[in-house]
């Protein structure tokens, strides 16, 4: 009940502030309607021409040109390799807020059959791969471009300043490179004489089209990359006792570490997931190799649970390797902390979100084991991270393609809810933050 206690008083305090801002947003309805066709056009173009992390050259050039054409007060390019940061100063006094969209695609072969489906290819860690916007980042960029258009065309009504962050490499930079939100923060996107006070991010997901989903506090999991190298002793496959079989050891490791969340952690406290998604070792069936490489991911929602899981995993893997005469090297590399919603900010902005999506279309969700590097911004300022539904409600949920699927595709009609949420956040924050 403590969580609700944060939100309900905040909503009550925010009502008067949001009421004052409603007139200003009402004046934007024509501008919002006018930009919809452009948002759809941008999205189709971006979807057809996806680019991988830290290689978003065409996308960033398109964004920068758009912001300059809108006479933004400042447009910075080349931030964290290919990021674009635009500053728009409103005609009324007020605080600074930030809006963020991620730009990168994924090494996925598109199978949607869309008329604007991607045929692009790129290089990922030295391999030639297909490229697809399989996580909706094309919609994120198009929606933020649309919000930039509406706010720039009505800057005389805008209280304060908006910093538009078009971020590369949310999916993770290529091997050996830095990137993403962590690098954007390190390069100063939240700095300056008047730094942003709050930030909003949106993400497409297979919910009902035009709906918004939130959860106070932790919402999306912290994520760590996992690599385990098992070193054995090569020998003939007919005589395994003459060597040390790292494949046999890897199989035991993969099975044993699955038991950590269910047998070694208090599942009533916080959930956790360990997945091994890649195992490589050997060249043919009758040769036991020297080494096996395992790669996976770890998802947690609590810092203490995360630390306990890491320690237990290292202990179990090393014990199994030792028992079999092998050695293990374990690397755990953090991708992002927990992403969530600041309870006070959420409470104050709920009326705005209801304006954006319509009453009854803004709902509280449950924990999601997906991860987002948006959390690096939230380590410095309060933030909201919302999931935007992008599927026809008539389509059964079991038939909706998940993020990262080759069949993932968003409905164009969903995007204006996202544009409205971005615009509403920028317009209303000044009023509610004063309460």
Q: How many residues does the chain have?
A: 435
Band of the pLDDT at 23, cuts 50, 70, 90? low
% of residues, the chain, pLDDT over 90: 92
Domains of the chain in sequence order: 2-221+338-433 (3.40.630.10), 222-336 (3.30.70.360)
Helix, strand or coil, per DSSP, at residue 425? helix
Nearest to 53 by CA among 222, 170, 175, 204: 170
Residue 11 predicted with pLDDT over 90 = no
Higher pLDDT, 18 or 259: 259
How do residues 83-129 score in pLDDT, each as one tens digit? 999 999 999 999 999 999 999 999 999 999 999 999 999 999 999 99
Contacts of 307 by beta carbon, 8 Å cutoff, 6+ apart: none
Pairwise CA distance, residues 105 & 121, whole Å: 11
pLDDT of residue 22: 59
Rounded Cα gap, residues 310 and 305, in angstroms: 9
Residues 138-150 have pLDDT tens digits of 999 999 999 999 9
The sign of the dihedral angle between the CA atoms of 140, 143, 145, 147 is negative
Q: Using DSSP, state whether 354 is helix, strand or coil.
A: helix
Look at residue 27 in the predicted model and tell me its pLDDT: 85
In this predicted structure, the answer to whether residue 21 has a pLDDT above a threshold of 90 is: no
Q: Which helix (H) or strand (E) holds 24?
A: helix 2-26
Mean pLDDT (whole number) for 361-382 = 97
Structure-token pair, residue 242: 């003459």
Residues whose CB falls within 8 Å of the CB of residue 269, separated by 6 or more in sequence, listed in order = 302, 305
- Rounded CA separation 270/306 (Å): 10
Segment 312-344, tens digit of pLDDT: 999 999 999 999 999 999 999 999 999 999 999
Q: How far apart are the first and last CA of the chain?
A: 23
What string of DSSP letters covers 104-116? Answer: --BS----S--TT
> Which of 227, 273, 262 is CA-nearest to residue 370?
273
Provide the pLDDT for residue 24.
66
Predicted confidence band at 10 (pLDDT cuts at 50, 70, 90)? Answer: very low
How large is the angle between the packed helices 343-357 and 415-433, nearest 10 degrees? 130
pLDDT at res. 434: 79
114 contacts: CB under 8 Å, gap ≥ 6: 47, 409
H or E segment to which residue 130 belongs: strand 127-130
Q: How far apart are CA 138 and CA 203, in angstroms?
A: 10
What six digits make up the tokens of 264? 């070694």
Residue whose C-alpha is closest to residue 64's, from 38, 42, 43, 86: 86
| Res. 15 pLDDT band, cuts 50 70 90 | very low
Report the percent of the chain where pLDDT is more than 70: 94
Q: How does the average pLDDT of the chain come out, rounded?
A: 94
Is pLDDT of 351 > 80? Answer: yes
Enter the DSSP assignment of 379: T
């Amino acid at each position: 009940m403590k969580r609700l206690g944060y939100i309900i008083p905040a909503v009550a305090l925010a009502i008067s502030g949001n009421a004052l801002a409603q007139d200003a947003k009402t004046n934007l309805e024509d501008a919002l309607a006018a930009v919809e066709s452009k948002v759809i056009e941008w999205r189709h173009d971006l979807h057809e021409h996806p680019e991988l992390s830290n290689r978003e050259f065409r996308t960033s050039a398109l964004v920068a040109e758009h912001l300059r054409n809108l006479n933004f007060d400042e447009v910075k390019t080349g931030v964290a390799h290919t990021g674009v940061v635009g500053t728009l100063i409103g005609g009324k006094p007020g605080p600074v807020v930030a809006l963020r969209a991620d730009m990168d695609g994924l090494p996925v072969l598109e199978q949607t059959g869309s008329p604007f489906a991607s045929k692009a290819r790129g290089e990922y860690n030295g391999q030639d791969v297909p490229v697809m916007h399989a996580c909706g980042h094309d919609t994120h960029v198009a929606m933020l471009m649309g919000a930039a258009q509406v706010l720039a065309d009505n800057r005389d009504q805008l209280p304060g300043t908006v910093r538009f962050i078009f971020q590369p490499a949310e999916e993770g930079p290529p091997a050996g490179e830095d990137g993403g939100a962590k690098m954007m923060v390190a390069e100063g996107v939240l700095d300056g004489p008047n730094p942003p006070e709050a930030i909003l991010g949106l993400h497409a997901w297979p919910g009902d089209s035009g709906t918004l989903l939130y959860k106070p506090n932790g919402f999306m999991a912290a994520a760590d990359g996992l690599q385990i190298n098992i070193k054995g002793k090569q020998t003939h496959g007919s005589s395994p006792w003459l060597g040390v079989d790292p494949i046999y050891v890897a199989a035991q490791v993969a099975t044993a570490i699955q038991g950590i969340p269910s047998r070694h952690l208090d599942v009533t406290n916080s959930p956790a997931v360990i997945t091994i998604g890649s195992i490589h070792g050997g060249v043919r069936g009758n040769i036991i190799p020297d080494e096996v490489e395992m790669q996976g991911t770890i998802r947690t929602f609590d810092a203490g649970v995360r630390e306990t899981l890491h320690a237990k995993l290292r202990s179990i893997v090393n014990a199994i390797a030792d028992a079999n005469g092998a050695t293990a090297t374990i690397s755990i590399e953090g991708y992002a902390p927990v992403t969530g919603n600041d309870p006070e900010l959420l409470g104050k902005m709920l009326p705005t979100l209801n304006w954006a999506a319509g009453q009854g279309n803004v709902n509280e969700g449950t924990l999601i084991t997906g991860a987002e590097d948006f959390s690096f911004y939230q380590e410095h300022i309060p933030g909201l991270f919302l999931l935007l539904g992008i599927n026809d409600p008539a389509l059964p949920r079991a038939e909706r393609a998940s993020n990262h699927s080759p069949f993932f595709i968003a409905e164009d009609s969903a995007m204006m809810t996202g544009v409205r949420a971005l615009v509403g956040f920028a317009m209303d924050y000044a009023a509610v933050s004063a309460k």
